[in-house]
Amino acid sequence: MKISVNGEIKEFNEESLTIDKILDILEYKTGIAVALNETFIIKTKYRDTVVKDGDRLDILSPIQGG
C-alpha cells in the first residue's frame, strides 16, 4: 500500500492500516493532530480509522509563536 504522509509517498506491506498503527510505525508520539484525506480525525478514533492505498495522511505538530 502506498499513501501520502505530509506530502511524501510512504510504502507499507499491508493492504490497510489504522492511523494508530501508522503513527507507531513512523514513530510519532503525542501532541499531534491527524487529517485523513483533508478531514481531521479525533484521537479516540485513531485505533478504528483505516487508511487505504492512495489515501493522504497529514500529521501536524503544534507550533509555538506569539
Diameter of the chain by CA atoms? Answer: 43
What tens digit of pLDDT does each residue of 4-56 get?
A: 999 999 999 998 899 999 999 999 988 899 999 999 999 999 999 999 999 99
Contact assessment for residue 58 and residue 34, using Cβ atoms and an 8 Å cutoff: yes
Please enumerate in sequence order all residues whose Cβ is within 8 A of that of 17, keeping only pairs 6 or more positions apart, or say none. 1, 25, 50, 51
In the numeric block, the cell 487505504 is attached to 52
Tell me the whole-structure pTM to 2 decimals.
0.88
Q: Options 3.40.630.30, 3.40.50.720, 3.40.50.1950, 3.10.20.30; which CATH number does 2-60 get? A: 3.10.20.30
- According to DSSP, residue 43 is labeled G
| pLDDT tens readout for residues 35-49 | 999 999 999 999 999
